[in-house]
Amino acid sequence: MFRHLLDKFSAVTLAVLVHAVLAGLLILSFEWTPGLRQPAGPTEPVRAVVVDETAVQQELERIKKRERLETRVEREQVRRLQAQAEEVRDERQATEERLRMLQEKLAEEKQRKEQTEQLTQQEAERLAELEAQKQAESERLQQLRREREQIQARQQAEAARLAELEAQREAEAQRKRELEEAREAALAEKQQLEQEKQQTLAEKQRLEQEKQQSLAEKQRVEQEKQQSLAEKQRLEEETQRLLAEKQRLEEERRKAAERLEREKQAALAEKQRIEAERRKAAEEQARLEQEKKQALAEKRRLEEQKRKAAEEKARLERERQQALEEKRRREEAERALKQALAEEEAVLETDIQRLRAEQRAEYKAQIEATVERNWIRPPGIAQGLKCTVLVEQIPGGEVVSVAILQSSGNVAFDRSAERAVWESSPLPRPKDPAVFERRIRFIFQPEA
């Protein structure tokens, strides 16, 4: 604007000077008429200054074109500033919308986390119930073992009594009828014992059915665990998508910064050009001293525009600070989301490790129970013996080797334990293939 003012003043001054020169020439042409007297010497021609009107018009046209060009440049700068302001407002609105979406997603993630915690708590309660059922089943098995021992003791006593009766039959023929009656009573008691044995087998079958139901319940818990893992994977995918969105926003901000930098460079070049023209205008300052008041008024107007431009710049700076603050809050929300996901992942990993430990213990207990079912007590073996057995198997469960790591002190008991392991091949398979172990070590103590 200042250059435009200087050019305008130059055009006016030039026009005034041209008209002044023309007027002076006309005045001189009227006043310098030759007199009646003869000149003393030879007359010299008067040199007239010829002003080319075409050059003057061309100079005026050039000045007008420069004024129009300056006006167009100013309008372009104003339009560019308005476009930048619109872009900043659009970006701020987009940032607010993305922040709102992130807040909604955080609320959804929090709700899903609460649901996952409820499922985990329900699973823990079901596992506690299964553990209680397992404990009750173990107590019933111990009771059945005690009853079986009592039945065996009665059978041994009956056998001893029958042997005594057989010996007394030869020595005491007169008591044959009494012995026959006692024998019939013994047979009746044996039948009763057989009935009790049948009842014991029926109770064992019932316990086996309850065990199958317990295994089905554990399978259902495993399915719910798989669903929880799928939910965890979905949360990880959502996190990856949020990270991609963040990278895209960073790329957009980088491009905007580059665009602003290019415009800043263009504005700097324009400023340098204006400074050069100002230096030219300073050289003509002496000639424009008489129009100083008008120039001062124009300068005040330019300062007012500069003040408004500074206010607009300050407003844009405030909006940029707000955008940076929104970015900071968004990054804090993303960090909080990552921390929550990490904590949830740690909880899920702990639950997985605990479930695997329980499954491994259950798998080992199944193998021990299978070996105890296939164990046949050697005659003359005392109660309470135990030995440590090392079994090596292949993935199908087939036993490939059996070794006694710690003997019970009774060779017959150790050999019976090895035979029971071989009779149990193939061993039970675990529900989770990850729990499978090629080398199984356990303590064989059938009376425990």
What is the rounded distance in angstroms from the CA atom of residue 68 to the CA atom of residue 280?
A: 20
CA distance 433 to 448: 29
Q: Model confidence at 11, in pLDDT bands (50, 70, 90)?
A: low
Q: Which residue has the higher pLDDT, 286 or 372?
A: 372
DSSP for residue 51:
-
Give the gyration radius of the chain's Cα atoms.
55
Residue 3 banded pLDDT, cuts 50, 70, 90: low
pLDDT of the residue at 42? 52
Q: How many residues can be counted in the chain?
A: 448
pLDDT score of 168 more than 70: yes
132-161 pLDDT tens trace: 887 877 788 788 778 878 878 887 877 788
Per-residue confidence band for 1, with pLDDT thresholds at 50, 70 and 90:
low
For residue 430, what is the enclosing H or E element?
Answer: none
Query: In the structure encoding, which two tokens stand for residue 356, read together?
Result: 């695997």
Tell me the CATH number of domain 385-448, given options 1.20.1600.10, 1.10.3720.10, 3.30.1960.10, 3.30.1150.10. 3.30.1150.10
Q: Which band of pLDDT confidence, cut at 50, 70 and 90, is reported for residue 398?
A: very high
Res. 14 pLDDT band, cuts 50 70 90: low
- Pairing between β-strand 399-406 and β-strand 439-444 as defined by DSSP bridges: unpaired
Which region among 27-31, 72-76, 389-393 has the lowest average model confidence (pLDDT)? 27-31
Task: Give the integer Cα–Cα distance in Å for 221 and 104.
Answer: 31
Spatial CB neighbours of 404, under 8 Å, sequence gap ≥ 6: 387, 388, 389, 390, 414, 417, 418
Residue 2 has what pLDDT? 47
Q: Which of 223-237, 315-329, 358-372, 392-406 has the lowest mean pLDDT?
A: 223-237
With bands split at pLDDT 50, 70 and 90, how would you rate the model's confidence at 40?
very low
Across 248-315, the runs of DSSP E, i.e. the strands, are none
Of 442, 412, 406, 405, the C-alpha closest to 427 is 442
Round to whole Å and give the CA distance between 301 and 306. Answer: 9
Burial class (CB in 10 A: 0-12, 13-18, 19+), 32: exposed
- The Cα 229–Cα 352 span in angstroms is 10
Residue 176 pLDDT > 50, yes or no? yes
Q: Residue 419: pLDDT band by 50, 70, 90 thresholds?
A: very high
> Residue 264: phi, psi to the nearest 5?
-65, -40
Q: Which of 29-43, 125-139, 269-283, 343-357 has the lowest mean pLDDT?
A: 29-43
Q: What pLDDT shows up at residue 412?
A: 92
Q: Which of 361, 369, 354 is nearest to 137 (CA)?
A: 369
- Inform me whether the pLDDT recorded for 413 exceeds 70: yes
Q: Could you report the per-residue pLDDT of 54-79, keeping only the tens digit for each?
A: 877 777 888 888 878 877 877 887 78
pLDDT for the residue 422: 94
Share of the chain above pLDDT 70, in %: 89
The gap from C-alpha 11 to its chain's centroid, in whole angstroms, comes to: 70
Cβ-in-10-Å burial (0-12, 13-18, 19+) of 310 comes to: exposed
Distances (CA, A) of 372 to 75, 138, 213, 309, 426: 98, 14, 22, 93, 14
d(CA 390, CA 421): 10
Q: What's the CA gap between 426 and 370, in Å, rounded? A: 10
Ranges of each domain in the chain: 2-22+51-373, 385-448
